[in-house]
Structure 1
Amino acid sequence: MHIEVDQSGKIEQLDRDTVIAFSNDYQYSIFIPRKVKQEFYRLYRVRIKHLRYKLFVIGIYYCLRDYFRLNELILIDCEYSGKENLIKSLLLNLFRKYHLINPKIIHFGTIGKRSNAHAAAIDVFRENRKPNFTLSLKDIENLL
């Protein structure tokens, strides 16, 4: 079994909400309101390098933190082509603070529209389903 992770609404699009969802035998989604993203960018754009990737990784962390199994493959949809190594590094650093994680389990690839992770993300993005968790600025700041 593996976990698939997908995003609807790009992190850097500050006029849109963002949803990050995963699916394996379970589905879970987190919602990042546009106002939270706008405030985060306003406060930290000068101080934090790679801001969009950091927020993307924080979203993935909150999505997976209670559900990933130690050696379960994590497949993240290629949202930011060419930045996979940076995203993997940021994600590993975050997970290592709170969990043991094997770097070999994190992979990037095309999830596709038929994925349950895509369906979960797009349903929340289109407001057809409620998210499991809504990220606040405080939640984000706790992981900086």
Structure 2
Amino acid sequence: MKRFAAVLAGTAALAALTGVQTASANPVGVTVCGTPGVPNHVTVKACININQGHVYAFGRATPYSATWQDQQVSFQLTTIGITNPALGTVYPTVLIEANGPSQEIGSVTGDVPCGSQVTATFTVTQPGWYPSSSTVSTVVNDC
């Protein structure tokens, strides 16, 4: 009887585990990123994630110098494409920490018709710094 109960418990645990694995195996989309911009105190990179026609555009920023000190930095993320709601531009200012990892900055989202092209440009706009930007374009095929 104890063996039977153990088998039932093992089967229930396996079923629960299989259910969790199935739920977490949902596609999270494909992310493409542009070439990093010219380092200008921080290195910037524009990225777009596409998941079944839904677009999520964002930027990444990484301190360029080992002598970097925590400071607020201004950016611009512009995304264009045929979408509903319309994609647009955001102007985030975020704290970039010394020795920190690459940070995801800003977000622009929207639903895009299959086969359309989306372009995102991520630019550092900090006063007194020369502009540095990264651009990425991709066609939405994941529909």
Q: Which category of TM-score, normalised to the shorter sequence, fits these structures?
A: under 0.3
TM-score (norm. length: structure 1)? 0.28
Higher helix share: 1
**Of Structure 1 and Structure 2, which has the larger fraction of its residues in strand?**
2
Whose radius of gyration is greater, 1 or 2?
2
TM-score scaled to structure 2, two decimals? 0.28
